């Protein structure tokens, strides 16, 4: 019975991870469809964060009622800055990058976020680098590989590998041509690199805040709230036409609901459960699966194109991802062993029996 339960738990975790990345992959495609049908790049995240806030805040209020620390003004300022990085810059750069590039590229370059986070954390002295150890060397090499892969994707497009000549269902030839005209590779790369930098900065900045304010759901709710306020301020200057705020079709409603309910609500819950069951490293290992799913879905649904430079860059980024994750795992094990040894030494030194043995040995040596 025990073995059956272990197998079923592992199977449940694997199926949940596949479902998680299907949801993530779907978000890339749905967001691109939203941009193609004319949904505003400012209105889209505003509606998404309204739905996310409505979903998360009740759970945050009731589930973290006892463990929520008191709010202070410095904490609110930090929440505001966290929203600026994790919501406004992150989502804004993502949509701009997706508008000019492709969903496959957007998903591929996101694999460089762990390496960029490591680089930022090292610069802020939140992460230690020791290239004399194999884990330290792996993290450095992984970072170089990821940045190299992102650079290749940005600077080298290469020959076309996959191309779908037929028009896809629901899209006319005119829509397909206008979609291709939108694609400006250089700007797409720059915006998506900005997206990865802001995401990595959010992760690095979030770690010290969570130590002071460990209520994760409440922190996420505050981040959504301040991000929503920031997008509304931007919208006041950018989206003054009220017609852009109207949901004019079932397709628009579906993309907004998917972004809010699935990408923010279901994905957050699934990711939290998977991290709790399998750990953050195990969950991160499956990240390249999302890129593969996006490539397949984008090719079938919106006739996305795949270039040689993107494929080479994506492979380098994935190699870099696994090197950084492996280095982090080894480092964690080394630190854990060192702590256990220190605890054992302290225990032995404080143990009266061991102290008596040491004193007896000293007396016999003196005699």
pLDDT higher than threshold 90 for residue 180:
no
Neighbours of 13 (CB within 10 A): 16
SS3 362: helix
Which are the contacts of 59, defined by CB distance < 8 A and separation ≥ 6? 217
pLDDT, tens only, 258-305: 999 998 888 877 887 887 777 766 677 777 888 888 888 888 888 777
pLDDT-derived band at 346 (thresholds 50, 70, 90) equals low
pLDDT greater at residue 323 or residue 250? 250
Q: What is the pLDDT of residues 45-61, one digit of tens each?
A: 999 999 999 998 999 89
Supply the pLDDT for residue 50.
95
Q: How confident is the model at residue 352 (pLDDT cuts 50, 70, 90)?
A: low
* Band of pLDDT at residue 5, cut at 50, 70 and 90: low
Residue 365 has pLDDT above 70, yes or no: no
Q: What residues contact residue 344 under an 8 Å CB cut-off, 6+ apart?
A: none
- What token pair was written down for 197? 């930098």
- Looking at the chain, the whole-number percentage of residues with pLDDT higher than 70 is 81
- What is the spatial distance between Cα 117 and Cα 287, in angstroms, rounded to a whole number? 15
Phi and psi torsions of 306, nearest 5° = -120, 125
CA–CA separation, 27 and 48 (whole Å): 12
Nearest to 265 by CA among 23, 46, 52: 52
Instruction: Provide the token pair at 220.
Output: 């996420």
Tokens 């270039």 locate to 307
Of 197, 231, 183, give the one whose Cα is nearest residue 94.
Answer: 197
Q: Which of 47-51, 108-112, 305-309 has the highest mean pLDDT?
A: 47-51
């Amino acid at each position: 019975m025990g073995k059956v339960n272990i197998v079923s738990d592992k199977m449940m975790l694997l199926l949940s991870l596949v479902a998680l990345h299907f949801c993530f992959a779907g978000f890339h495609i749905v967001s691109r469809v939203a941009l193609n049908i004319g949904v505003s790049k400012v209105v889209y995240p505003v509606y998404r964060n309204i739905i996310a806030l409505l979903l998360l805040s009740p759970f945050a209020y009731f589930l973290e009622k006892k463990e929520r620390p008191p709010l202070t003004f410095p904490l609110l300022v930090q929440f505001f800055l966290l929203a600026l990085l994790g919501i406004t810059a992150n989502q804004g750069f993502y949509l701009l990058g997706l508008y000019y590039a492709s969903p496959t590229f957007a998903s591929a370059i996101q694999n460089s976020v762990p390496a960029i986070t490591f680089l930022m954390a090292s610069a802020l002295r939140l992460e230690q680098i020791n290239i004399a150890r194999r884990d330290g060397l792996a993290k450095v090499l992984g970072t170089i590989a990821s940045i190299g892969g992102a650079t290749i994707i940005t600077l080298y497009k290469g020959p076309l590998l996959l191309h779908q000549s037929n028009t896809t269902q629901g899209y006319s030839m005119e829509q397909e041509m206008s979609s291709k005209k939108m694609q400006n590779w250089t700007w797409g790369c720059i915006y998506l690199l900005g997206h990865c930098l802001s995401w990595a900065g959010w992760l690095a900045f979030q770690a010290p805040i969570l130590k002071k304010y460990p209520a994760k759901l409440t922190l996420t709710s505050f981040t959504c709230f301040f991000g929503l306020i920031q997008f509304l301020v931007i919208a006041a200057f950018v989206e003054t036409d009220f017609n852009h705020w109207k949901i004019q079709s079932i397709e628009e409603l579906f993309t907004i609901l998917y972004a809010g309910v699935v990408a923010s609500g279901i994905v957050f819950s699934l990711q939290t459960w998977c991290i709790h069951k399998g750990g953050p490293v195990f969950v991160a290992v499956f990240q390249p699966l999302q890129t593969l799913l996006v490539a397949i879905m984008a090719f079938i649904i919106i006739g996305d194109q795949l270039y040689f430079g993107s494929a080479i860059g994506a492979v380098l980024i994935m190699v870099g991802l696994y090197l950084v994750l492996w280095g982090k795992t080894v480092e964690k094990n080394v630190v854990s062993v060192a702590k256990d040894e220190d605890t054992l030494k302290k225990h032995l030194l404080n143990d009266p029996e061991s102290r008596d043995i040491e004193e007896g040995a000293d007396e016999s040596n003196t005699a």
